[in-house]
Amino acid sequence: MKVRATAVAEGRANAIGTVELECTPHGLAVAYLGVGAFQEDYAPGALTIGTRITVPWSKVEAARVEGDQMYLGIDPELTPHSRMVLTHFTAGDHAHHREVFKQRLVVWIGAGGGAIVVSMIAALTLPRVAPSTGAGAALALGGLAALAIICVGLVADRQLGRSGLEGDAAREAFALELSRSLPSLVRLPHRPAAPERPFTWPSFEGWIPRTTAAVVITLTASLLGAVLTARWLLSPAHESRSPLVASTAEPERPAPVEPKNVAPPPAPLAPPPSAETERPSSPSTTLEGRCSCTRASSLLWTAPIPKLGVLVLERKLVSGPVRKRLELEIAAINNGDRDLREIAMSMTFFEQDPPPSNKRYPVANRAVYFEGPLTPGQAIKWSVEARGSAVEVDRPLHGDIGPAGEGAAPANLIAELLAANHRPVRLHGAMLLGYLGDPRAKEAALKLKEGMRDDEQPYLDRLVRALSEVSTCHLRVTGDGNERTVEACVFNSGREPRDKLALRVRALDGTPNPGEPTEKPPSVVAEATFALGTELPPQAGVTARAKLDVSKASAAPVSFEAFADREDLLP
């Protein structure tokens, strides 16, 4: 008798996945249909698929039926997956419960669609066949036809998965057959209670501020508080107070009374520039007519945002006695509007030769798995470590969010990421809200900037600039020589006119990685500021064209970014 079972994660188990078991005269036949190594607090390893072994009965070290599950222990010399806690038993040709669910879903979708189509055909055909028939009879005939199709679907649903055993019946049948070869099979009424984890004190390092400014402020406040407390304790209660010396001052004069009900004359607004009358605002800037922005251009979303976002929360390079090891915390976030099931990712770890060589070579592979479902706006985290100094993540392909936010998770679910434990997840949530144009994005970005760490500043600065009332979009850089032509739309989305504006353009030697917000950003190799020389009315924009000199750049430009503000406020 062959049975299939699912090995689940538990502290005493070292395997997780799907197995097939069969009692034979020579021993217990075990086939791994997708089993990975398991250890608590570590991600599952690579899956073993298609491997089959026969375990002599003398090598079966433990077999116990524990309530609704079974524990099976095998001699570790035969296989590394030697301890398994098995549930979800099925026998015969009975399909897996997930496959049965998919089959039933197909049956009911087909039955529902067929019922709608047949009812419409019947309701529309009857009046043509019998013109004297009323609307009520046509609707009744359509309802009866739909009911017949639903009954057929119900019969088909009851027939699915009926061949074979599943659940308690399959487990008990296998246990009965197993007891004939293993008389020592133990039966327990309930599964054993999970062992209590020992209490551990929180790490003191988490309470220490991480930035230099925060450390200085904390130490200064503590020292000042200690000095003032000591002075208050040591000072006598009858300490005389020195009288305050009043300084001479001129008597206050009443402010002039302005006439009431007289409105000040409105300030004239500069007319928007038109394409017919081009006029340069500075020797190096040309304004070329009206434009508008629906979303600011930013290197944080230049590339399409995937529906399954992968974030590197923290990486730590540990130097061992011989080799370096990379400890990695990685998270997957469902940016899309549908549940994601069975998320599996592989990671390749590399070692790199010392400079000036850039050669690197793979040294280890790791895999992580999540059964799901991962609902929209939800995140899951793994901890991985392996030999190496760099890593590449092979993320699953689930599509991208559209330019207008098509396929994105609801904004209210994304906003829940702002309360996540890890700051990179909060940064990602604020960025995604900004991409969708949600007004909560700017408040979230400013709040994150209050407790900003040094390695988060470049990411947050780009995000805050992209959410400013004066934004830039439609950035285009052409040319490949020492002088590049820059064209961008500067748009005022506020309610007040803006003047003395300038456009700042930067050339970078790389592209920021939104998947690792705290990664070292690319360096600025060339930049220039171009004054616009015109006032922008509310909800108006102008196209600016300028020339950017990159002849003195320290490296070849790879990407460009632009942002606008008052000239005296640009960094």
Edge-first strand order for the sheet with 390-394 is: 360-370, 343-352, 390-394
Look at residue 486 and tell me whether its pLDDT is greater than 90: yes
The residue among 445, 449, 425, 423 whose CA lies nearest residue 434 is 445
| DSSP type of residue 533 | -
Whether the Cβ atoms of residue 492 and residue 565 lie closer than 8 Å to each other: no
Digit-coded pLDDT (tens) for 494-534 = 999 999 999 999 999 999 988 888 888 899 999 999 998 88
Digit-coded pLDDT (tens) for 12-65 = 888 888 898 999 888 889 998 888 888 776 666 677 787 889 999 888 888 989
Look at residue 282 and tell me whether its pLDDT is greater than 50: no
CA torsion, ordered 128, 134, 140, 144, to nearest 10 deg: -30
What pLDDT score does 255 carry? 43
- Say whether 551 sits in a helix, a strand or coil: coil
6-15, 389-398, 482-491: which has the highest mean pLDDT? 482-491
What pLDDT score does 263 carry? 44
How many CB atoms within 10 Å of residue 298?
24
CA distances from 68 to 38, 85, 88 (A): 21, 11, 9
CA distance 419 to 410: 16
Tokens 């099925």 appear where?
A: 90
Q: Which of 188-202, 237-251, 262-276, 478-492 has the lowest mean pLDDT?
A: 237-251
**Proportion of the chain above pLDDT 70, given as a percent:** 84
**Proportion of the chain above pLDDT 90, given as a percent:** 28
What pLDDT score does 41 carry? 63
The values of phi and psi at residue 551, to 5°, are: -65, -25
Digit-coded pLDDT (tens) for 97-149 = 666 777 788 888 888 888 888 888 877 777 777 777 777 777 888 788 888 88
Look at residue 253 and tell me whether its pLDDT is greater than 50: no
Look at residue 252 and tell me whether its pLDDT is greater than 70: no
Digit-coded pLDDT (tens) for 373-415 = 999 999 999 999 998 888 888 888 888 999 888 999 999 999 9
Look at residue 254 and tell me whether its pLDDT is greater than 70: no
Burial class (CB in 10 A: 0-12, 13-18, 19+), 177: middle
CA distances from 161 to 22, 89, 103, 110, 565 (A): 21, 13, 9, 18, 66
CA distance 301 to 239: 65
Digit-coded pLDDT (tens) for 417-426 = 999 888 999 9
Binning pLDDT at 50, 70 and 90, where does residue 342 land?
confident
What pLDDT score does 58 carry? 87
| DSSP type of residue 126 | H
What pLDDT score does 543 carry? 94
The DSSP bridge partners found for residue 285 are 282, 546
The residue among 205, 186, 210 whose CA lies nearest residue 63 is 186
CA distance 298 to 521: 14
Q: Which of 158-162, 326-330, 337-341, 544-548 has the lowest mean pLDDT?
A: 158-162
The DSSP bridge partners found for residue 3 are 21, 91
Tell me what the pLDDT averaged over the chain comes to: 82
Choice between 202 and 241, residue whose per-residue pLDDT is larger: 202
What pLDDT score does 195 carry? 67
Burial class (CB in 10 A: 0-12, 13-18, 19+), 395: middle
Choice between 301 and 47, residue whose per-residue pLDDT is larger: 301
Digit-coded pLDDT (tens) for 53-111 = 999 988 888 898 988 899 999 988 888 888 999 998 888 655 556 667 777 888 888 88
pTM of the model: 0.51
